[in-house]
Structure 1
Amino acid sequence: LLVECLGVSLGPEPCPLQCQCEEDGIFILVDCSELGLTVVPDNISTQTTYLDLSMNNLSELEPGAFHRLLHLTEFFFLLCLYSHKHTNHMPSYISSMFGLFDRMLQNNQLERLPSEDPWNLPSLLSLRLDANLLTEVPARSFSFVRSLRHLWLDDNFLTEIPVSALDFLPNLQAMTLALNHITKIPDNAFSNLSFLVVLHLHNNQIQTLGQRCFLGLLSLETLDLNYNNLQEFPTAIRTLAKLQELGFHNNNIRVIPERAFMGNPQLQTLHFYENPIQSVGRSAFQFLPKLHTLSLNGATQIREFPNLKGTSSLEILTLTRAGLSALPQAFCQQLPRLTVLELSYNQLEGLPSFLHCSALQEIGLQHNQIRRIEERTFQHLVSLRSLDLSFNCIEWIHPDTFISLHSLTKLDLSENSLMSLPVGGLGGLTHLKLRGNTELYEDFSPEHFPRLRVVEMPYAYQCCVYTSCDSYKSISQWETEQSSEEEELHKKTVTLYPIQIHTHYYPDLEEFQMEIEESNLQTNVQCTPLPDAFRPCDTLLGSWLVRVGLWSISVVSLLGNSLLLLSLFSTAGCLSPLRFTTACMGASNLLTGMCTCTLALVDALTLGEFGRHGARWESGAGCQVTGWVWVFASEASVLLLTLAAVQCAVSVTCARAYGKTPSHGSVRFAAVLCLTLSLILASLPLVSVGEYGSSPLCLPSPLPPPSSLSFPLCLIMVNTLCLLIVAGSYSRLSWELRRGQCGGVWECSVVKHVAWLIFTNGLLYIPVAFLSLCSLLGLLSLGEEVIKSVLLLLQPLPSCLNPLLFLLFTRDYTHILSWPRPKPHPHLHRDRTLDDSMVSVETEKSSCSDSSMQMSLTEAEVLYSGSPALQPQLETIRNSQSSSSSSSFVPIIPCQASSSSMRERERETEESDW
């Protein structure tokens, strides 16, 4: 180890400038790494035994630079050079360093090794030549380093095994040739390496192995052939009698033959995953008495569980992403020492009894098709600590399944179809995961889980019993703290277990993690998902301000729109296009009022205990229907308002330009089209575009991350486009009317009514759309209570204001409060030669109405005063008005009909009540 001692003088000779020196008895340790040196310091003490010159800019070494360092035993010399010309060969004067034990030349740009002038380092034990540009190793490169024990040649550009060079290394114990471009291993490639214990050949392009390629490796215990292109099982390994660890995962091997490892009785660890296995011999893994780890991940074609007779020491078995559909009933009798069983991502539909696997500590059965858990399945597994049954189809668990699992601390039942969970025997749990069980509504009392610290529930309301609704943290805070804890734990783990970071299962590591977690005791249970303003524990609506406001909106909307519809359908006469559009708007507003009334009733019925009923309401049909009706009604109201404004503008323009208006059929078709479009938008969640049950408000969630961004964004874009069209149409209408000096028309109640509808609906829509869009995209951080209040109060507010505006701008509305009685009315005989301005005015009236569009006599006088030719008709209307006592208003909007005067008079009679 190096300790910083900058500026310390050691004996009579000082420490080199900028270097760090440390005393080690009578010897000196010198660290001059990463200083940007261009020359070797000239005042290095003769008592130096350790010298590190790595990561500098040394381009060449002066002769005799290290002659005085007779005691040097470890030399780190990593050249960071700017060109190849200084590093394409090794200087010969280094041969005089007979005491050199360790030599590290990695991370350079060496292209070749000396051949004619070999190194004379008889005491050298370790040589690192990795991460260079070597393409070959000359035959006599290692002829004078016969004491070498460790050789690193990985991460170069070698294309073949340096057989001749390796013949001079009879004492070699560990060698790595990984990360090269080797394509084959010939016979007798390592014949003189009888003491070699570890051989790494991973990450090459090896396709074939000679039948006798490993001959002579009498001491080999670890062989790594991972990440190559092997096409066939390497039967050459049968000559490795002392082999203990074998890895050849991530190759292209398709068949494991019978008795594949009959020559490897000492085999302990076998990693064979990520190969396209199509068949496995039944005796392939038999009679391996010392095998304790077997990994066959990714063998997708395996249909039957392998026969493990005689492999009784197996402790870790991994067989994932295969095609297993069943397990042998007695397979535990062959594996009495099994501690880890990982069978995830298979097609298991049932489970046998694990009674004889009493040593099991971890079982992974996630991502299968298991439906039922019987009583005897996990009986007497007293050592079991972790059980993962997530992502199955489990519908039922026997009440006594977990009774004997006294050591169980982690249970994962996520994403199943459970309707109930037996709690017997689960008192020792510290981690419980139940998310995704949408039919699991019951509350789990903390008394059943006294040691529980981390729990994931299907619904946020089930966390109300574990934490105070006012004291829980936000989801982002919890995720940040959890991730930081996991990172710190991972750092500690890698520090203590650096060798095992690339393996899949490590029981000792699991024990260490459990100890770390158990030592980090917390006072509160960490329960997710957390309750919030949209998933409250006490009341659905929250504050009394929202509650009173929603009740007011509901009552006014129901009464106002009911009266409006009653007045429209109770009067005699034909159902004109404008009347049809107005009726549709009133009906949609009435539906919105019914939805708000439903939420208000749910809040009243569950006041103070909404958490007990929230899960059933949120996922039930009532919430789904409420959300669907609300979205349909809201979109229909916006689209019909757009139609009314466009109809008004188009009718006036057509009447002034062409003397005629759009037909009744086209207007009604447009209204039906608006309703159809609203129906389609509201039904998008039925085809998995968004959802209504994401919150108990039953509306598309405006909070990130939503179930689907496309649905709420689609609604916002449609509504925004409609309001822009409305604003543009009415701006054009106002400009044409002012330019044409039609003051009487501009002052009529029809135009003012539609103008106020546009203004109020647009004014209320802007904050709702803005806050929803910002919340969806994460552009603005607002409290959930604010967003909830805006949605519940501003969004349904137009449904109660629209009928009030009708009453405000239609002064003669007293007939609405009483059922009309049919009375005879005088007929209005109209001259066929009326002025075109009259047609235009009538057209404007029949097109701009958003309600009943009835006008008083005073307004008619103002309207008719602009044309002297219409004064006789106005006088007739005055006489008719004075002689009629059934109504105080005069109809001026006739239904379009044929040119027959008789039909026109009949139509005028039918319109008298309208």
Structure 2
Amino acid sequence: MCAVWRLQMFAVLFLILLSRRALGELVTVELYKPNITSLTAHAIHAAGYHLHTVGHLTIRDAPLLEHVKVEDLTKMPNLKSLYITQAPKLQRVAPLPALPELLTFMITTSGLVEVPNLSHVHENRVNTSAAYLQAIDLEGNHIRRIPAHALRVRAAQVSLNYNLIEEVPAHAFKFAEISKLSFRGNMNLKRLDENAFAGNLVLRQLDLSNTAITSLPIKGLEKLEILKIERTPALKYIPSIYDLQSLKEAHLTHHFHCCAFAFPERHDPARHALYELYIKQLKQKCAQDARDASAERRQRSLEPIRKFDTQRLMAQLQGNSEEDESTATTSEDYSPNMFDFDYSGDVSSEYGDEMFHEAVNTTGAEMLECGNFSTKLRVVNCTPLPDALNPCEDVMGWTWLRASVWFVVAAAVVGNLAVLIVLLANRSELTVPRFLMCHLAFSDLCTGIYLFMLAVVDLQSYGAFFNYAYDWQYGTGCKIAGFLSVFSGQLSVFTLTIVTLERWFAITFAIYLERRISLGTAAKIMIGGWLFSIHMAGLPLAGVSDYSSTSICLPVKSSSTSDALYQGSLFLFNAVAWVIIVVCYVGIYRSLGGGGEKYGGRAAAAAAERRIAIKMALLIGTDALCWAPVAFFGVTALAGVPLVDVSHGKVLLVFFYPLNACANPFLYAILTKQYRRDLINLIARSGRCNWLVERYKLAATPPATAHTQQSAPAPLLPLVQYGRSTSQISKENGELL
């Protein structure tokens, strides 16, 4: 009985094995670290596998593999996937023969130098319309070129990531049907021919992240739905929404590129004008159809509209009066496909026939009823979105700000140039105060030049700055402007501090003439100030923070600890300098008597003291107005709680930040008597405007009176003018500077 039962069980198992063989059960063959130089049918058979049962073939870590005998692959008629990885000596694979069941072809992290030819894989398949490859993965090889027709396949996904591709030639994917195509990580990829993707009829998703491309062609991207160009800083220009007619998602590198989709009328005015003209005439046609149609035909769809002549339409838009009326564009000349902005299908995350579905237009006006079509443009989900540092606006966001900046520039440039010209023209009388004032005027002049550069860029890019943002922010101009901004700010603060210290020292130790700061000492101090300012302005050029992070070219980027330390050091230096200036001026005021007590209460001396106090208040006040708002909002931003965005921060930039640059030449030089004397001497040496020289001499030499001859000289205050360190102050004017 037991023997009979065993015999029955053996028969059942035998029948099961026969049925599985009849059903063609497939096995997965995985060869790990095979000691082979060529992948052949014999190597598979020697490993103990029957070729007809091989469904999935995997070769891992094959350091000696150099060759794949592709003709032997036909001996595995049920082969569905071929996966080879870590084969550094495998450089080329001959064109694959017909493999009707093949769905996946992967050679990754190997030595391939060119794309294998897969165009004949599905030639012998019975149902060729349903034949497609689920995935072609050639990631991590050494591919440098894409030969013609190598990828003339139907594939759900093709990955050429992390290779050495430098160029995608014209018609590289002609007659191909590829839904997802990825070039991610090809750092040498710089050029895409304008016809690189032309001929690919079903491309839905394209990934060009981590490459070096500078532009994106539009041919072949009519049905593109998802575009990824992340971490690609060289990309200058993004096509408009009218070129990428089916785009739904865009993952880009620069914030300003997303502005192109949000404001198509500013990004591509000509194409937007075509669209508006098309909609206008479409509405007219609908209205005419509604008037002419009977009641039962009011909801009929529009008849197909013939394709229009773009050149004639552009000529009409440009007001070409020479165009004959007989050739004028009419509503019959428009093609709704030109403005096909939507696509109802979506790219499936799974591989399948739906990857090759046809686009179904749901917003084309010819398929909608008159009166029901929408003129609203399609919304593209774009990242990174414009933010507080990079809004979709011009360099100067408001019209009043655009006009105001020119007045600020004029005051800063003209005032400081006037000071430099007069001081440098009298080099024979060079003193420490004159020397310091030259440095102060030069640093403030740099601030005026910085604002002038921003004003010019704003004027040139008015209305569509995001179209010019790349060339400006990542070009040499923005780097120069940012360098001038930081350099001038630091040098101005440093020089003001030294001027104040020199003045305080001269007044506090007035009787010790040998303790005065010499010109040589002042020169050494200013060399240190120049080196410090150049160093702080040069750090963003070396990668600490970044001048290109915003349109106003200030180092506001804080993405690392070094960035935060750099910005914090700038704020700390300005704060310490301002405290020193305030303390020194308070000390100067107290040393002068603080109200006239040292002058016996004489009214003239008290009046002079009041004038000095007013001038001190002006000096300290302008410094505070210049630095305090910028420092406050800068510190809050550095702490992670910004209270003002760049749009409103530009008000600080125009009205507060350059306040010192505008006020310093007047407070420290132009409004002083010494400067007026130097200016008149310069005019007199030129031999021109003699009437002005004579008028000044008459005004400066009042007639003698009995009172002036008999009265004793008023007490003089040992203050320092910019002209000479040992000069004193007059009681009439309270001259401090």
Range class of TM-score, shorter chain: 0.5 to 0.7
Higher helix share: 2
Residue pair 1:430, 1:453 contacting (<8 A) in 2 also:
yes
Aligned to 1:715: 570
CA distance in 2: counterparts of 1:542 and 1:289, whole angstroms:
67
Structure 1 position 632 matched with structure 2 position 487: yes
* Correspondences of 1:519-534 after superposition (within 5 Å): 523-531=378-386
2:495 match: secondary structure: helix
Residue pair 1:456, 1:527 contacting (<8 A) in 2 also:
yes
CA distance in 1: counterparts of 2:724 and 2:478, whole angstroms:
34
Residue pair 2:173, 2:198 contacting (<8 A) in 1 also:
no
Change in CA separation of 1:427 and 1:307 when aligned onto 2, cut-off 3 Å:
closer
CA distance in 1: counterparts of 2:672 and 2:19, whole angstroms:
103
Opposite residue 145 of structure 2, the aligned amino acid is G
Give per-residue Cα distances to partners, 1:362-389, cap 9 Å, x unaligned. Answer: 11123322122223421210x2111112
Aligned to 1:578: 433
TM-score scaled to structure 1, two decimals? 0.54
CA distance in 2: counterparts of 1:220 and 1:651, whole angstroms:
106
Residue 423 of structure 1: how far off its partner (Å): 1.7
Residue 811 of structure 1: how far off its partner (Å): 5.2
Residue 304 of structure 1: how far off its partner (Å): 1.8
Structure 1 position 429 matched with structure 2 position 212: no
Structure 1 position 567 matched with structure 2 position 439: no
Opposite residue 672 of structure 1, the aligned amino acid is I
Residue pair 1:355, 1:379 contacting (<8 A) in 2 also:
no
Change in CA separation of 1:246 and 1:722 when aligned onto 2, cut-off 3 Å:
farther
2:170 match: secondary structure: coil
* Correspondences of 1:757-772 after superposition (within 5 Å): 757-772=619-634
CA distance in 1: counterparts of 2:387 and 2:519, whole angstroms:
51
Structure 2's unaligned 5+ residue stretches are 1-8, 124-131, 267-347, 364-375, 600-604, 686-692, 698-715
Change in CA separation of 1:782 and 1:591 when aligned onto 2, cut-off 3 Å:
closer
2:470 to 604, 609, 615: 615
Residue pair 2:36, 2:64 contacting (<8 A) in 1 also:
yes
Residue pair 2:65, 2:87 contacting (<8 A) in 1 also:
no
1:628 match: secondary structure: helix
Residue pair 1:295, 1:317 contacting (<8 A) in 2 also:
yes
Residue pair 1:444, 1:462 contacting (<8 A) in 2 also:
no
Opposite residue 279 of structure 1, the aligned amino acid is L
Structure 1 position 282 matched with structure 2 position 67: yes
Aligned to 2:340: none
Change in CA separation of 1:780 and 1:615 when aligned onto 2, cut-off 3 Å:
closer
Aligned to 1:679: 534
Aligned to 1:693: 548
Change in CA separation of 1:741 and 1:856 when aligned onto 2, cut-off 3 Å:
closer
Structure 1 position 466 matched with structure 2 position 261: yes
Residue pair 2:495, 2:529 contacting (<8 A) in 1 also:
yes
Residue pair 1:355, 1:376 contacting (<8 A) in 2 also:
no
CA distance in 1: counterparts of 2:482 and 2:236, whole angstroms:
21
Deviating more after overlay: 654-663 vs 540-549: 654-663
CA distance in 2: counterparts of 1:376 and 1:609, whole angstroms:
33
Opposite residue 485 of structure 2, the aligned amino acid is W
Opposite residue 413 of structure 1, the aligned amino acid is L
Residue 692 of structure 1: how far off its partner (Å): 2.0
Residue 683 of structure 1: how far off its partner (Å): 1.7
CA distance in 1: counterparts of 2:236 and 2:562, whole angstroms:
21
Residue 539 of structure 1: how far off its partner (Å): 3.4
Give per-residue Cα distances to partners, 1:709-734, cap 9 Å, x unaligned. Answer: 45544433433343344445556666
Residue 439 of structure 1: how far off its partner (Å): 5.5
CA distance in 1: counterparts of 2:612 and 2:393, whole angstroms:
47
2:544 match: secondary structure: coil
1:385 to 179, 199, 203: 179
Opposite residue 447 of structure 1, the aligned amino acid is Y
Change in CA separation of 1:522 and 1:282 when aligned onto 2, cut-off 3 Å:
farther
CA distance in 1: counterparts of 2:399 and 2:657, whole angstroms:
18
CA distance in 2: counterparts of 1:368 and 1:356, whole angstroms:
16
* Correspondences of 1:109-148 after superposition (within 5 Å): none
Residue pair 2:255, 2:384 contacting (<8 A) in 1 also:
yes
Give per-residue Cα distances to partners, 1:816-856, cap 9 Å, x unaligned. Answer: 65335479x9xxxxxxxxxxxxxx986x62xxx66877967
Aligned to 1:792: 654
Residue pair 2:669, 2:722 contacting (<8 A) in 1 also:
no
CA distance in 2: counterparts of 1:686 and 1:281, whole angstroms:
47
Residue pair 2:432, 2:725 contacting (<8 A) in 1 also:
no
CA distance in 2: counterparts of 1:660 and 1:860, whole angstroms:
29
Aligned pairs, number: 573
1:384 match: secondary structure: strand
Structure 1 position 815 matched with structure 2 position 677: yes
Aligned to 2:115: 327
Aligned to 2:105: 317
Aligned to 2:129: none
Residue 429 of structure 1: how far off its partner (Å): 0.9
Residue pair 1:354, 1:377 contacting (<8 A) in 2 also:
yes
2:650 match: secondary structure: helix
Aligned to 1:291: 79
Residue 555 of structure 1: how far off its partner (Å): 1.4
Structure with the greater alpha carbon radius of gyration: 1
Residue pair 2:103, 2:134 contacting (<8 A) in 1 also:
yes
Give per-residue Cα distances to partners, 1:841-872, cap 9 Å, x unaligned. Answer: 86x62xxx66877967624999xxxxxxxxxx
1:672 match: secondary structure: helix
* Correspondences of 1:218-617 after superposition (within 5 Å): 244-245=27-28, 253=33, 261-262=44-45, 263-264=48-49, 265=51, 266-269=53-56, 277-280=62-65, 282-283=67-68, 287=73, 288-297=76-85, 299=86, 301-305=88-92, 312=99, 313-328=101-116, 330=117, 332-333=119-120, 338-355=133-150, 357-381=152-176, 383-392=177-186, 393-434=188-229, 440-442=235-237, 444-457=239-252, 459-468=254-263, 507-508=351-352, 523-531=378-386, 535=390, 537=392, 539-571=394-426, 573-617=428-472
* Correspondences of 1:813-852 after superposition (within 5 Å): 813-815=675-677, 818=680, 819-821=682-684, 845=720
Identity of aligned residues (%): 23
Residue 405 of structure 1: how far off its partner (Å): 0.8
Change in CA separation of 1:592 and 1:448 when aligned onto 2, cut-off 3 Å:
same
Residue pair 1:754, 1:850 contacting (<8 A) in 2 also:
no
Opposite residue 799 of structure 1, the aligned amino acid is A
CA distance in 2: counterparts of 1:549 and 1:586, whole angstroms:
22
Give per-residue Cα distances to partners, 1:559-584, cap 9 Å, x unaligned. Answer: 22122223322336332222111111
Change in CA separation of 1:708 and 1:455 when aligned onto 2, cut-off 3 Å:
farther
CA distance in 2: counterparts of 1:254 and 1:658, whole angstroms:
92
Residue pair 1:806, 1:851 contacting (<8 A) in 2 also:
no
Change in CA separation of 1:376 and 1:702 when aligned onto 2, cut-off 3 Å:
closer
CA distance in 2: counterparts of 1:770 and 1:470, whole angstroms:
38
Residue pair 1:700, 1:711 contacting (<8 A) in 2 also:
no
Alignment RMSD (CA, Å): 4.8
Residue 706 of structure 1: how far off its partner (Å): 12
Residue pair 2:167, 2:189 contacting (<8 A) in 1 also:
yes
Give per-residue Cα distances to partners, 1:291-310, cap 9 Å, x unaligned. Answer: 3234445x273552467967
Residue pair 1:550, 1:600 contacting (<8 A) in 2 also:
yes
Structure 1 position 644 matched with structure 2 position 499: yes
CA distance in 2: counterparts of 1:315 and 1:458, whole angstroms:
34
Aligned to 1:474: none
CA distance in 1: counterparts of 2:264 and 2:583, whole angstroms:
47
CA distance in 2: counterparts of 1:528 and 1:403, whole angstroms:
26
CA distance in 2: counterparts of 1:653 and 1:855, whole angstroms:
14
Opposite residue 649 of structure 2, the aligned amino acid is I
Residue 663 of structure 1: how far off its partner (Å): 2.9
Give per-residue Cα distances to partners, 1:534-557, cap 9 Å, x unaligned. Answer: 555563211133223322211111
Residue 637 of structure 1: how far off its partner (Å): 0.6
Deviating more after overlay: 440-449 vs 685-694: 440-449
